[in-house]
Chains A and B, each alone.
Chain A
Amino acid sequence: MLADPSVSAAVADAHRREWAFVLAATVRVTGDLGMAEECVQDAYAQALSTWGDRGVPARPGAWLTTVARRRAVDAGRRDATLRRSLPLLLDDRVDPGPQIADPEEIADDRLRLVFTCCHPALRLEAQVALTLRLLCGLTTAEVAAAFLVSEPTMAARLTRAKKKISGARIPYRVPAAGELPTRVDAVLTVVHLLFTTGHTAPVGADLIRRDLVERALDLTRMLRALLPRDADVAGLLALILLTDARSATRVGGDGRLVLLAEQDRTRWDRNAIGEGVALVREALRRRPPGRFALMAAIAAVHAEAPSWTDTDWGELVALYDLLVQLWPSPVVALNRAVAVGFAAGIDAGLHALDALAAEPQLAGYAYLPAARADLLRRLGRLSEARTAYEEALLLTQNTVERDFLTARLDKLGQAQAKPGSTHPGPAPSAPR
């Protein structure tokens, strides 16, 4: 019998909202990540049939946790070895016994799960995979699809990570206050990576991977609820909201890339921008501001500018200057150079870009030659611009970006046929 669609929807909703809560609470009983995952999966399967018969419970998360924990107790009784496959280090394991605790009293253990998934002793790619599997509840196949690797590869990656958690005794707890800032930064790095991977997919036919963007936003909102006074969390949430507010206008109806300069600003999500700007203000109140707060402030300058030409480039360069000091990444320096090109003139921008030419980290990065190409084109140095566009084309595998660069090259061909015409226009490397 097929489940009632409203029940399926309620289960899907509970999956998205409650998975991390249910899993974290179940881990406290099983003391084993793998076993907790299975029990939680079973609980969701049971919800599909039980909720159809008896209706959706008032507190789905508590219902699911109770069922998952009961399964854990039963399975543990049936086979004690099950419990020991990937033992996890708990300083206060809960034994609910035959009587399951009052659902009202189930502790919110999500932060412990967050810090375990994003422990710096795990490789970054493993942290990201664990986050999607354990915090977002994606299946191994879905996590594999998100990173374009085969399912066995992803399964092996997840197992290796869980074995390290167990074998090296990575603790299941919230770090002490002294460690907290660096550990929160590690968590935010994972979520930010998830967001940027979704915002501009490195490979594939789609520019935006909506699923990853949504997951990153859900995770950041969860962190905001769990750490409401953390300025870096506020900064990342602001950054995601302000950047994603433009997503509807980044690709045109014909599937082509639309640059920030040409986007229809009336279609930007004003609610997201409003929420993001308020969060930026809050995040900037901490001195000195963190990197996500500064990146969000940069996004806010764009979000609040009435048009590309009315953008406050001086303010942007000032924000990039602060960001480069705090986070000396060549990619930040590249974006700063593009802003300089608008604030202080094309020659100044080109000068700033040329200073980055030898940067090994930018060697395979398409935005560097694309940004150079744009400035050269605006200066009328068309054959140099052509070479730079061709170089950029060699470095990106994203279809939408490739189409954009090819179109630029074609336009350049027409311009070269008519000397003197330089097509003033936006930079392809500008924030999008």
Chain B
Amino acid sequence: MAQYLILIYEDEAAWATAGPEGYEQAMKEHTAFGHANGAALRGGNALQPTGTATTVRREPTGSFSVTDGPFVETKEALGGYYLVEAADLDEALAVAKQVPAPFGGVEVRPVQVFD
């Protein structure tokens, strides 16, 4: 078995206009997803919008630059993730296809194993 991180990328502007019904619907879908895939899920969280993000980089001089905003500005931003356990990529993709992401999509990344 291996672990995969499913990163949820969605359009924040679309979420902002989705309204309370949109949020409620999404919560329902994520709850249903959690019930259906409980055996594979090892964790997961929603993130606050990129407006709350702070980026920290080390400068060549050794000092740090701390800036407002996400690491990379994109239309579809990282908004949440699930950590799942799966035998192989096909199994992980089968879970990924069920992740609700009405305003974007998901990226599946195998977790690095150090041995």
Contacts and interface: CB of A to CB of B under 8 A. Distances in A.
Interface of A: 89, 119, 121, 167-171, 175, 179
B88 A89 contact: yes
Interface string B8-25: 000000000000000000
B2 interface: yes
Nearest to A179: B90
A169 B90 CA distance: 8
B110 to A, nearest CB: 5
10 contacts: A121-B89, A121-B93, A167-B110, A168-B108, A168-B110, A169-B87, A170-B90, A171-B88, A171-B89, A175-B90
Nearest to A167: B110
A179 B108 CA distance: 19
The A interface is mostly helix, strand or loop, or mixed, namely: loop
A175 B89 CA distance: 12
A169 B93 contact: no
Contacts of A171: 87-90
A138 B13 CA distance: 49
B110 A170 contact: no
Interface string B79-90: 000000001111
Interface residues of B, number: 8
Contacts of A119: 89
Contacts of A89: 88
A171 B2 CA distance: 12
A168 B90 contact: no
A115 to B, nearest CB: 10
Contact of B2 (A121, A169, A175): A169
A117 to B, nearest CB: 14
B90 to A, nearest CB: 6
A169 B88 CA distance: 5
Contacts of A175: 90
Specify which of B87, B89, B90 lies most central, judged by the most chain A CB atoms within 10 Å of its CB: B90
Nearest to B115: A84
Contacts of B93: 121
4 A-B pairs with least C-beta separation: A171-B88, A169-B88, A168-B89, A168-B110
Given A169-B87, A171-B87, 11 more contacts: A89-B88, A119-B89, A121-B93, A167-B110, A168-B89, A168-B108, A168-B110, A169-B89, A169-B110, A170-B89, A171-B90
Contacts of A168: 89, 108, 110
A5 to B, nearest CB: 46
B105 to A, nearest CB: 14
A36 B108 CA distance: 28
B104 to A, nearest CB: 19
Contacts of A121: 89, 93
B76 to A, nearest CB: 20
A171 B87 CA distance: 9
Interface string B85-112: 0011110010000000000000010100
A119 B93 CA distance: 12
Contacts of B2: 169
Contacts of A170: 88-90
Contacts of B108: 168
Nearest to A172: B88
Contacts of A169: 2, 87-89, 110
A175 B2 CA distance: 19
A177 B90 CA distance: 13
A274 to B, nearest CB: 40
Nearest to A89: B88
A169 B108 CA distance: 12
A119 B89 CA distance: 10
A170 B2 CA distance: 12
Specify which of A89, A169, A170, A175 lies most central, judged by the most chain B CB atoms within 10 Å of its CB: A169
A162 to B, nearest CB: 14
A81 B37 CA distance: 36
A171 B86 CA distance: 12
B112 to A, nearest CB: 8
Interface string B53-94: 000000000000000000000000000000000011110010
A355 B60 CA distance: 56
A169 B93 CA distance: 11
A171 B93 CA distance: 12
Nearest to A169: B88
Contacts of A179: 90
B16 to A, nearest CB: 29
A89 B87 CA distance: 9
A63 B16 CA distance: 65
B93 to A, nearest CB: 7
A89 B89 CA distance: 10
Contacts of B110: 167-169
A280 to B, nearest CB: 33
A168 B88 CA distance: 7
